[in-house]
Amino acid sequence: MDRLIARYTNSYLSYVLMYLFYNISFALFSAMLSVYLIGKGYSASDVSLCVSVGSLSAMVTQPIIGGLTDRFGMRPVNLTMFGIVCLAAVGVVIAPNFMMLVGSWSIINLLMNGANPVVERMATSSPYDYGKVRMWGTIGFACGTQLSGIIYDAISPDALFITLIFTMLLCILGFWGTQPRLAEAEEANIEAGDEAEPVSMKDLLTNKKFLYYLLLQVIFVGVTGAVYSFAPAFLTSKGMDPSFASTILAIATLCELPFIIFSSKYMDKVPNKILLLICFALVVVQMVTYGLDLPLPVIIVITFLCKHPPVIINVMANMKVVNTIVDARLQITGLALVKACQSFGTIVSNNIGGRIVDASGYPPMFLFLLAVIAVGLVGVVFFQVPSGNDKKLFS
C-alpha cells in the first residue's frame, strides 16, 4: 500500500483527477442553474438573485480564503472546503424554500470559487506541462455541462447535486495526491529572509496598475458571467430542449482546448495587452450576435468560437498579468483579490441582466452587455502594462 501511495503522489493521474472532477463538479452546480431554477417556477430575476448572492458571498470570502491558504497551506484549506461542498449539495436538494436553496447554492459557489485561484495556479506549478494538465479542466467542464443536461432530462433536476457529491469525492482524491512545486510567493519569502521589508494587502491597494486591472476584470467577467448564467435559458428560449442546449454548450467548452494545449506556443510570446484585447474583442463579437438575435445557426457557431476561448485566454492572461505587476510574495493574495472583483462584476451584471430579461427579453440584455464590454475594450487600449513575456509561466 505504501508503494502504491508513493507512486500515486504527485503523479499525472492525481492532477488529471483533480482537474477533471473539479471542473465536472463546477459545471454540475452552475451550468444549468438558470434552467434548473426556471424549471422550478422561479423567474429570471430569481436566477439573478441566486447568482448575485453566491457571487457576493464569494467576493467577501475570497480574500479570507486566500489569507487562510497563505497561513495554513493549500492542502488543509482546500480539502476542507471541498468536504463542505458535499454537505452543501445535500442542502440544495432538501431546501424547503427558495432562500434556503440560495443559501446552500451560495456556499457551494463561494467555496468552489475560493479554491479556483489555487487550482488554476497548480497547473503552472506541477511537474508537467501546463497544457497537458489544464486541458483536463476543459474536458471536465465540457463533460459536466453535457452530463448536467442528460441528468436534468433523464433523471431529475435534483440529481445534479447528488452527482456533485460523488464527483467532488473524486476531486478530493486527486487533490490529496498532488504536490506542486513550491509556490513562487513562498520561494520569494524564503529568499527574502527576516530582513526583507514586509508586504501586505496595502501594497496591492496602492498599486495603480493593479487597481486599473481589477476594473477591467470587473467588466470582463461581469459580462461573461452574465452570459454564462443566461446562455442556457437563452438557447432553450429559442426552442432547444435542455439536453441539446447542454450539448451545444459542452461542444463550446471543448473549443477552448486548442488554446490550452498550445498555450506554451503563444502565451509567453504574446504581450499581456494584446492578450486582453483579443479577449474583449471576441466577447464583443459574441454580444453583437446575441444582441441582434441572428439566426440560430449563426448563434451556435459564434457560441463555439467566442464563448469559451476568450474566457480561457483571460484565465491564463490573468496569471501572467498578476505575475507581471504584483510582488512575488503577494501572488496568491493578488489572484484572490482579482477573483473577488470578478465576483463583484458577476453580481452587478446578473442583477441588471435578469431585470432586463424579465422586462424586455434576452436580446436587449445582450445589447446592454455589448455596451459594457465595449467600454472595457477601450479601457484595455489605454492600459499600460509590461508584456510579461520574460516570466515564462507557460513554456
Residues of the chain short of pLDDT 50, as ranges, are 182-186, 188-194
pLDDT digit string, tens, across residues 256-292: 889 988 888 899 899 999 999 999 999 999 999 999 9
Long-range contacts of 237-243, Cβ-Cβ distance < 8 Å, separation of 24 or more: 237/362, 238/296, 238/299, 239/296, 241/153, 242/32, 242/35, 242/149, 242/152, 242/153, 243/149, 243/150, 243/152, 243/153, 243/154
**Residue 371 CB-density burial (10 A; 0-12 exposed, 13-18 middle, 19+ buried):** exposed
Phi and psi at residue 29, in whole multiples of 5°?
-90, -10
Taking the C-alpha atoms of residue 125 and residue 18, their distance in angstroms, rounded to an integer, is: 14
Tell me the domain boundaries of the chain. Answer: 12-177+201-381
pLDDT value for 198: 62
Taking the C-alpha atoms of residue 316 and residue 321, their distance in angstroms, rounded to an integer, is: 9
- Which residue, among 126, 143, 125, has the nearest Cα to 28 in the 3D structure? 143
DSSP letters, 274-308, are HHHHHHHHHHHHHHHHHHTT--HHHHHHHHHHHTS
pLDDT value for 56: 79
CATH of 12-177+201-381, one of 1.20.1250.20, 1.10.287.3510, 1.10.760.10, 3.90.850.10: 1.20.1250.20
The distance of Cα 234 from the centroid of its chain, to the nearest Å, equals 20
pLDDT value for 20: 94
pLDDT digit string, tens, across residues 214-254: 999 999 999 998 998 888 888 888 888 877 887 888 888 88
pLDDT value for 4: 84
CA torsion sign for 36, 94, 353, 28 is: negative
Alpha-carbon distances of 252 from 194, 248, 306, 316, 372, rounded to whole Å: 49, 6, 9, 18, 23
pLDDT value for 319: 87
pLDDT value for 145: 83
3-state SS string for 81-130: HHHHHHHHHHHHHHCCCHHHHHHHHHHHHHHHHHHHHHHHHHHHHCCCCH
Q: Which three cell numbers stand for residue 359?
A: 422586462
pLDDT value for 201: 66
pTM of this prediction? Answer: 0.76
